[in-house]
Amino acid sequence: MAYDPNDPLYKMLLDENIKAFNDARKSGKTVELQGALFRGIDLRNMNADGLDMQDAYFRGADLRGVDLRNTNLEGASLCDAKISGCYFPKELSPEEIRLSNEKGTRMRYSRP
């Protein structure tokens, strides 16, 4: 399933309204983000726990400090994204992260 560009939670992220997004998630709302586009968006402090962001596009996004350990990032691209202080899934090798960040490759790894 792919993301819905009209989903209210997705729009909160596009508007960089991270607090409202996190509050909505705390209240039990969920969002489909497979293949979502986050080019140049500031996502710092986003609660990404348990999200499926497979094939998402993060070119130039600001992900500094975001905990992505329990986030599905299979096929996602981090080209030129700010990733300082991020936690990534332990299955994702540093080489995959580096290649994605420097060259824009899609990250590949096996999830348990």
- Domain assignment present for 99: yes
Looking at the 3D structure of the chain, how many domains does it have? 1
- Domain assignment present for 112: no
- Domain assignment present for 41: yes
- Domain assignment present for 111: no
Does 12 score more than 70 pLDDT?
yes
Q: Which residues contact 81 (CB under 8 A, 6 or more apart)?
A: 58, 59, 60, 61, 62, 63, 101
Tell me, yes or no, if the pTM score tops 0.85.
Answer: yes
- Domain assignment present for 36: yes
Q: What is the mean pLDDT of the chain?
A: 96
**Rounded Cα gap, residues 2 and 90, in angstroms:** 25
Q: Render pLDDT for 41-88 as a digit per residue (tens, 0 to 9).
A: 999 999 999 999 999 999 999 999 999 999 999 999 999 999 999 999
Residue 17: give the domain boundaries: 1-106
Query: In the predicted model, what is the mean pLDDT of residues 10-28?
Result: 98
The CATH number of the domain holding residue 2 is 2.160.20
Cβ–Cβ < 8 Å for 12, 20: yes
